[in-house]
Amino acid sequence: MVHTHILDVPNNTHPKWYKDKGLRKNVYHCMGLCLCVFYLGYDQSLLACLQSIPQWDEFFDNPSGTRLGLISSALYFPGIFASFIGSWISMKYGRKPALWVGSSLIIIGAIVNALAKNTAEFAGGRVLLGAGGAIAKVVAPALLQEIAHPRLRPVLASSYYGWYFLGAIVSGYLCLAGLFIHGTWSWRLACIAQIIAPIGVLLVSFSMPESPRFLANRGRFDEALGILAKYHANGKVDDPLVQLEYNEMVLALEAEGSEHKSSYKDFLRYKGNRRRLVMSLVMASGTNWNGSGLVGYYLTPILESIGITDPVKTINLNNGMNLWNLIVSEVAALYVESVSRRTIFFISGWGMVITMALVGGFSAGYELKGNVNLGIASIPMLFLYYGLYDIAWMSIPFHYCTEIQPFHLRTKGLALFVAMQTGSNAFNQFVNPIAFEKITWKYYFVYVAINLAYMAYFYFYLIDSRNMSLEEITLLFDYPRKEARERATEEMESRVRAGLLRRGSTTAAVDALYRGDTNNAASVTSFQHHLERSGSSGSNGSINEKKA
């Protein structure tokens, strides 16, 4: 059997994406999708900064305690339920309609916030923001990975969540400017500016293609193939990469037997899907329950605990940390295919354990002995901690938990991911300030233990997915970890070969396709018919497994 990886197949594009017209458009659309997470980073910085603006505090009658907690959590709890609505829309009507609904709700919510006359209206605006944001976060990672060129997909998918920090930076500086504006527009300006990103998403989406996988799943094969050819080979339909990518996609859909029949119960019916589900939930919770929520959302009390109380210093440190996070997370995304996912998580995890322990130790020295130097020493440790967090937890979870799911469960898996992530975030909003106030520096060591638990899980269950096609990755969790990569690659090639031969292609033509022989591969038969669902062996599960 001739075996050539999909990324090694010749392709009618320039090696450098910025010198290729089709790839430039592809990157433009994917970058537009990255704006979908802008709102969350913006809000993380916004609510913290609004509390430092006297006009906002006075207008809403100095909210604190339960009332402030309700304002904060109003963004998160609706998202737990709205994420499932996003999955339903994206599977029934398409990825783009779901994107439009989510972005529109964010815009409406931001306007309601900016024009709010009382606490109830302000909280109501945050409910709309949270619901719209959850819908967008479900569909954006799926659409990004389904339209991205295979050569660019890992980097683009890994850069997605780092845009969170771009929102935080913009929000932080707008709130800082608000300190110099008189009247209620000192805070209304920062609230209304939250519409910038979703408007950008809507504008980009007008020229953005629908997911080829969604179209093929609906029997719209010509459109799906046309999109792949346009953006992945500058319109060349018989391009070897496009043909191989298209055939892998269609045969994967055929094997899943997924048309309009998928259910959340499928996550429990099959062993491979149960493993995918647990991995997604663990990663979703880990984005918040590894100490990042403590450092990111409560930087001010952390700084106060080590003696830094000046508002200007606090705001500048917060903005500086967000800029640092943006740079580290985006640089890490550029090299995500150079190092295995497992190695990245272990470097990140052990580094976070060490730096979190040092922060706890320095804070303890300041609190117990009043040593100011120890308190100051914890500041660079916070930056180092977040840098280590960024290289794994910002670049991989959304990327990985999107690509490991088969098409019929992809947005459902993302809905569960977003619901879990949102729920864990809401949990942090209530628990972290209480725990930090009660046990101060000792709370850092709780997260040291939690990070050790995450690393233990990843050691036994995380499967590396680098340098594989999207369809190959969806098969990984059907096999034991140590042999998953080899068997998934072999299974996908076996499917493509069998499917092409079944439809009239010759063995020589199929071999030529895998070799990237453009002259002989042209005789390979593309799938221009309806999927043969009746002959599928995997109904809503993994083709290689039985119910467990």
Which tens digits make up the pLDDT trace of 104-133? 999 999 999 999 999 999 999 999 999 999
- Say how many C-beta atoms besides its own lie within 10 A of residue 315's C-beta: 21
Question: Which letter does DSSP use for residue 393 in this model?
Answer: I
pLDDT at site 537: 36
Burial class (CB in 10 A: 0-12, 13-18, 19+), 383: middle
Q: Environment class of residue 132 by beta-carbon count within 10 Å: exposed (0-12), middle (13-18) or buried (19+)?
A: buried
Tokens of 61: 């009658």
Residue predicted with more confidence, 384 or 68: 384
Q: What is the mean pLDDT of residues 445-464?
A: 95
Bridge partners of residue 270, in order along the sequence: 547
Whether the Cβ atoms of residue 195 and residue 107 lie closer than 8 Å to each other: yes
Q: Which of 399, 244, 255, 374 is nearest to 308 (CA)?
A: 374
pLDDT 10s digits, 337-385: 999 999 999 999 999 999 989 888 887 887 787 777 777 777 788 889 9
pLDDT at residue 293 above 80?
no
Domain 6-214+262-471 - what CATH class?
A: mainly alpha
pLDDT, one tens digit per residue, over 139-148 is 999 999 999 9
Question: Side chain identity at 41, as an amino acid letter?
Answer: G
Structure tokens at 363: 């804070």
Q: Say what angle helices 65-73 and 119-147 make with each other, to 10 degrees.
A: 30
Phi and psi of 536, rounded to 5°? -75, 145
Query: Whole-number mean pLDDT of the chain?
Result: 86
Rounded mean pLDDT of 273-285?
A: 97
Q: Give the tens place of pLDDT for each residue, 2-14.
A: 455 677 788 999 9
What was the pLDDT predicted at 534? 36
Domain boundaries, the chain: 6-214+262-471, 215-261+472-533
392 DSSP assignment: I
| More confident site: 49 or 325 | 325
pLDDT of 518 over the 80 cut: no
The Cα–Cα gap between 371 and 301 comes to: 18
SS (H, E, C) 98-109: HHHHHHHHHHHH
